[in-house]
Structure 1
Amino acid sequence: MMSTKMTNTIKRRYNRISSIFNLMDNMMPEGWRKELLKEAQGKVLEIGVGTGTNLPYYPDNIDLTAIDFSPKMLEKAKEKTQKNNHAVALLEMDAENLIFEDNSFDTIISTCVFCSVPDPVQGLKEIHRVLKPSGKVLMLEHMRSDHPVIGKGMDFLNPIGLHIVGANINRRTMENIEQSGLKVESQVFLMGSVMRKITLTKKC
């Protein structure tokens, strides 16, 4: 697991940009969120809720818990729940160390989160642990391009984004998923190989 120092550094960066994060988050096409979140059902956990951009798109008949390790982000998300009357439990929590019991959730959501989790494999292992055997993980994630030239360019530029906002643009997310014990049920390429909609389940 990555050091507490790294986690705290990234947390401070996200606290710092919380006031403008909603503008950054809204750069993702609304249709991608709607398509993903309409599949949420049962007891749902959102990892990295940020300022709550996803909250208006969830179905009504779910039991929603949403976490983030940035208290400033959670303040913004709470404002959205108050304005829109959304029933959601908002908790400050690290994705690498979830407090929930094993096999707790029917659906787990992440949208552009695993670029910033300091130890993404540990975070994904925690998702595997708290997901019910019949459950699904629904993800919208950006990652390192499969194109050799573009991928190397992302490697070169990555330190800039990491320093400013704590997000990596060159994460090898599919390899990290493989190490976590989760199984790829489907993946849809939304923007070349960089942006993908991914559905995961537990391996048998």
Structure 2
Amino acid sequence: MKADSATIKKRYNRIAPYFEGIEAVMEGLFFRNWRKKLWEKVDGHHVLEVGVGTGKNFDYYPPQARITAIDFSEQMLEQAKRKKERKNIAVDLDLMDVQSLAYASNSFDTVIASFVFCSVPLPSKGLKELYRVCKPGGQIVLLEHVISANPLIASVMNFINPLVVGLVGANINRNTVKTARSCGFSSVRVDERSSDIIKLIEIRK
């Protein structure tokens, strides 16, 4: 049975105070460099960050951009607000679900997300919302962990996925590239530096 938004939100609310500590090792070894690559892709002035979490991307925000950031977890957003004040980051923070965005169509030059669509109950619905709020010709850039192309590794990921979802609400066996290609975008490409299970995905409306 798939977890719904309310269930996943409760899990993220529960782990929010400990989230950065939980991911500290992976962040230092792998994710930090990927986040830098992700934010180097930003194009245009008005940027929407989906799934801001505790504000792990704050250090990579381009100084010239106007940035709006959302999360559907109240407690994760509270952590982000504290970090915003501590680091004096210029960002507008909103409580919102990517599956139902309150923004007008064609609002943002770039929409960006890191390790978010593993937790969205209906990823195609969320991606179509990003399509809607992105300006014509604008871009969506995603950093996502996805299921391996290696059948043996993929079988292990599928086997342990229910446990991971139960603990933190994140699926480790999603095929986000394939899902994005079914959502009507003009182009979906994977950065050549991507690994087997971590993909930097560049999308154009």
Task: Tell me whether the two structures share a fold, i.e. TM-score over 0.5.
Answer: yes
Q: Distance in 2 between matches of 1:172 and 1:32?
A: 19
Local SS of the residue matching 1:102? coil
- The CA RMSD measured in Å over matched residues stands at 1.7
Q: Distance in 2 between matches of 1:25 and 1:38?
A: 22
**C-alpha contact 2:48 2:69 (8 A) present in aligned 1:** yes
Tell me what 1:184 maps to.
188
Tell me what 1:92 maps to.
95
Tell me what 2:204 maps to.
201
Give, in angstroms, the shift of residue 25 of structure 1: 4.3
Q: Any stretches of 5+ residues in structure 1 without a counterpart? A: none
Tell me what 1:169 maps to.
172
Instruction: Give yes or no for the alignment of 1:6 onto 2:8.
Output: no
Structure with a larger share of its residues in strand = 1
Deviations 1:140-176 (A, max 9, x none): 1001111111111111110000000100000111121
**C-alpha contact 1:38 1:58 (8 A) present in aligned 2:** no
Identical residues among aligned pairs (%): 45
Give, in angstroms, the shift of residue 186 of structure 1: 3.7
Give, in angstroms, the shift of residue 67 of structure 1: 0.3
Of residues 174-183 and 193-202 in structure 1, the stretch that sits farther from structure 2 once superposed is 174-183
Please list, as runs of the form range in 1=range in 2, the aligned pairs for 1:83-162 lying within 5 A after superposition.
Answer: 83-162=86-165
Counterpart amino acid of 2:7?
Answer: T
**C-alpha contact 1:103 1:132 (8 A) present in aligned 2:** yes
Aligned length: 199
Q: 1:180 to 1:31 in 2, by over 3 A?
A: same
Please list, as runs of the form range in 1=range in 2, the aligned pairs for 1:17-28 lying within 5 A after superposition.
Answer: 17-26=15-24, 27-28=26-27
Local SS of the residue matching 1:32? helix
